[in-house]
């Protein structure tokens, strides 16, 4: 069954143009103190140092940085895309809330077990991926991000989806593959723009009737769940005929 590791094909294209980073010999936070008066910039620099995140080799013309971070205020505030794909990050600093222009944030393969509440202030965020990390519950801190188009929480230990999932009315792709989710809330019906829903490899027994309200749904992944006989029948008879691509392969 096909499954893309990262957010969208656009993210993959973006990564091909990611900036090269260099290893530094002195702590860049020293330079931060001289260049910046704002305490949040200095704290963000110290966090980057602590997590061994390299300095960006040059300023990005499109505001994108991959596995590195600039240390000057101008570049930080103009940043639009930030990808951490190979950094073992254990926590995010509260100061991330100052990256007001951020539209894409990808922190995959990390040790994150929670997100700071300040992440909810990134109101321009459209793409958020915290895949293959250590989240044990759905991060309610993100429910204010009403502009999200893509949310990927694949490969965590999330056990439930809150009713506030209905806040993401603009969402197009939602991925919860490889978690421990046992049920879906009725409010999922509010995701009227949802085209892809990935629930593969969870603990779902019964699907809510509300899922039939997802008129925009084209791709649905539900394999490797202990679905009841009635839910299997519902998927096969009522849901699959409306999908563009048949991705159903449950063994009977």
Tell me the per-residue pLDDT of 175-213, one tens digit each, with 9 for 90 and over.
Answer: 999 999 999 999 999 999 999 999 999 999 999 888 888
* pLDDT given at position 233: 86
β-strand 21-22 against 55-56: which pairing, if any? Answer: antiparallel
pLDDT tens readout for residues 71-102? 999 999 999 999 999 888 999 999 999 999 99
Going by pLDDT thresholds of 50, 70 and 90, the confidence category of residue 244 is low
Mean per-residue pLDDT, 217-240? 87
- Four-residue CA torsion sign, 161, 163, 168, 172: positive
Task: Assess contact for 60 and 82: CB atoms under 8 A.
Answer: no
pLDDT tens readout for residues 20-40? 454 443 344 544 645 555 799
What's the CATH number of domain 9-242, 3.20.20.10, 3.10.129.10, 3.80.10.10, 3.40.50.2020? 3.80.10.10
- Four-residue CA torsion sign, 194, 195, 196, 199: positive
CA distance 114 to 48: 18
pLDDT tens readout for residues 101-153? 999 999 999 999 999 999 999 999 999 999 999 999 999 999 999 999 999 99
CA distance 91 to 103: 20
Q: Is the pLDDT reported for residue 65 higher than 70?
A: yes
**Average pLDDT of the chain, as a whole number:** 85
Going by pLDDT thresholds of 50, 70 and 90, the confidence category of residue 229 is very high
* pLDDT given at position 251: 41
Q: Is the pLDDT reported for residue 154 higher than 70?
A: yes
Mean per-residue pLDDT, 226-241? 84
* pLDDT given at position 111: 95
150: helix, strand or coil: strand
Structure tokens at 226: 């202990």
* pLDDT given at position 5: 43
- Percentage of the chain beyond pLDDT 70 is 81
* pLDDT given at position 157: 97
* pLDDT given at position 221: 92
Q: Is the pLDDT reported for residue 18 higher than 80?
A: no
Q: Domain ranges in the chain?
A: 9-242
Q: Is the pLDDT reported for residue 158 higher than 80?
A: yes
């Amino acid at each position: 069954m096909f499954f893309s590791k990262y957010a969208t094909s656009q993210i993959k294209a973006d990564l091909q143009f990611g900036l090269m980073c260099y290893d530094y010999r002195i702590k860049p936070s020293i330079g931060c103190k001289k260049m910046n008066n704002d305490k949040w910039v200095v704290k963000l620099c110290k966090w980057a140092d602590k997590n061994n995140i390299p300095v960006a080799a040059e300023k990005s013309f499109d505001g994108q940085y991959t596995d590195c971070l600039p240390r000057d205020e101008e570049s930080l505030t103009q940043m639009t895309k930030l990808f951490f794909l190979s950094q073992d990050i254990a926590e995010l600093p509260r100061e991330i809330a100052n990256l007001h222009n951020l539209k894409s944030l990808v922190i995959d393969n990390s040790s994150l077990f929670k997100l700071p509440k300040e992440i909810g202030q990134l109101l321009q965020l459209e793409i958020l991926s915290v895949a293959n990390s250590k989240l044990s519950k759905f991060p309610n801190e993100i429910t204010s991000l009403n502009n999200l188009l893509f949310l990927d929480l694949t490969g965590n230990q999330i056990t439930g989806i809150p009713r506030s999932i209905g806040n993401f009315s603009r969402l197009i792709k939602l991925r919860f593959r490889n978690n421990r989710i046992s049920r879906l809330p009725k409010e999922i019906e509010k995701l009227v723009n949802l085209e892809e829903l990935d629930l593969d490899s969870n603990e779902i027994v019964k699907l809510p009737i509300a899922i039939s309200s997802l008129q925009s749904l084209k791709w649905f992944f539900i394999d490797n769940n202990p679905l009841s006989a009635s839910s299997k029948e519902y998927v096969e008879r009522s849901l699959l005929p409306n999908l563009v691509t048949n991705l159903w392969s449950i063994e009977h």
